[in-house]
Amino acid sequence: MNHFLAITDYKPEEIQSLLDLAIRLKAEVGSGGNAPLFKGKVLGMIFQKPSLRTRVSFDMAMRHMGGDALYLSPDEIGLGKRESIADVARVLSGYVHALMARVFDHAHVLELAQWASIPVINGLSDYNHPCQGMADALTIQEKFGKAKGLNVTFVGDGNNVAVSLMHVSVLLGWNFTLASPDGYDITPPAVDLARRIAAGTGSALKFCRDPHEAVKYAHVIYTDTWTSMGQEEETAKREKVFPPFQVNARLVAEADKDVIVMHCLPAHRNHELTDEVADGPHSVIFPQAHNRLHAQKAILARLFGVA
């Protein structure tokens, strides 16, 4: 691994190997702690968008493994504005051992990787969210094992989180369904890529407008905020469109009896997800959030070449 920019950059067996490593590193924490495999390593963290989970999970992943992390705020970097992305990448390559970037424009993280001589991790872009996708897959496997043919349903906006969930699902042989309002679908290139992968893994893809149809037989129901950062001017419009796609007790009752409910957080409670479901017996939203730490340790370990 040179960079971690998209889950689809890797083969199914490579993704599964990363998940197996994450499971092992997570188990080590509960039995005395991780070995200091990152000793002497520093992760530079570039943030254009704020995040509780991304910042703390990467920071603590480095600390658990004996390394350190350096937070770089938007004002300090001005990525592509105050200084060119190519120059930022080359300067930081001489200071730290890897970069994690949480950006608005996917092209920015690709350009960082193009010019950096150190590994670059996509901490989120407008196209995808691969670190979240790995934590999601880890959470699903903890519940259901490595079973093929699981039914994973995303209800809501076909956003960056949905893209990575779709891609990791088809790589691992799970069926993926999206229920979204008209005009809020996953981008065609991302779907086309998923179809090509699914042809080799046997996964099925389905796209519909009815969330009740989508959750039939679902083992996983996943949702996300109706309005992501950078879309604030669309809030009023989206608040009118998305209420039928709320994940509530009625919808959950229509899925498999052992269904788990997921959300990448932060949640706008009683909008896309009701309190009753978020805090109910099917919810795994907090274990899912905690798994960001362990999935990212595995990614970092492979990029540093220590596991």
Residue 129 a catalytic site member = yes
> 7-129+292-304 and 132-288: same fold?
yes
Per-residue pLDDT of the chain (307 residues; tens, 9 = 90+): 899 999 999 999 999 999 999 999 999 999 999 999 999 999 999 999 889 999 999 999 999 999 999 999 988 887 878 889 999 999 999 999 999 999 999 999 999 999 999 999 999 999 999 999 999 999 999 999 999 999 999 999 999 999 999 999 999 999 999 999 999 999 999 999 999 999 999 999 999 999 999 999 999 999 999 987 677 888 899 999 999 999 999 999 999 999 999 999 999 999 999 999 999 999 999 999 999 999 999 999 999 999 9
Residue identified by tokens 């109910």 is 280
Fold observed for domain 132-288: Rossmann fold (3.40.50)
Alpha carbon distances (Å) from 91 to 62, 115, 156, 198: 21, 10, 40, 40
Q: Tell the residue number behind the tokens 């994973």, with chain if given.
A: 152
The pTM for the full model equals 0.96
SS3 268: coil
Residues forming a β-bridge with 45: 71, 100
In degrees to the nearest 10, what's the CA dihedral of 2, 205, 162, 153?
-130
Respond yes or no: is residue 82 known to be catalytic: no
Active site residue 246: no
Residue 231 bears catalytic tag: no
Copy the structure tokens of residue 251. Answer: 């919808």
Contact between 79 and 46 under an 8 Å Cβ cutoff? The reply is yes
pLDDT computed for residue 192 by the predictor = 98
Domain range annotation of the chain: 7-129+292-304, 132-288
Q: In this structure, what are the phi and psi dihedrals at residue 46, rounded to the nearest 5 degrees?
A: -95, 125
Q: Which of 97, 126, 132, 302 is an active site residue? A: 132
Residue type, 278: A
Interatomic CA distance for residues 170 and 116, integer angstroms? 30
CB 175 within 8 A of CB 14: no
**Which residue in the list 129, 167, 282, 302 is annotated as catalytic?**
129
pLDDT at 183: 95
Residue in this structure with the two tokens 């703390």, named with its chain if needed: 56
Active-site residue 102, yes or no? yes
> From CA 77, how far away is CA 83, in angstroms rounded?
7
The single residue listed with the structure tokens 């670190």 is 131
| Predicted pLDDT of residue 234 | 85
Distance separating alpha carbons of residues 54 and 64, to the nearest angstrom: 15
224 is catalytic: yes
CATH number for 7-129+292-304 (one of 3.40.50.1820, 3.40.50.1370, 1.25.40.10, 3.60.70.12): it is 3.40.50.1370
- Residue from 292, 294, 296, 302 carrying the catalytic annotation: 292
Which three-class secondary structure state does DSSP give residue 79?
strand
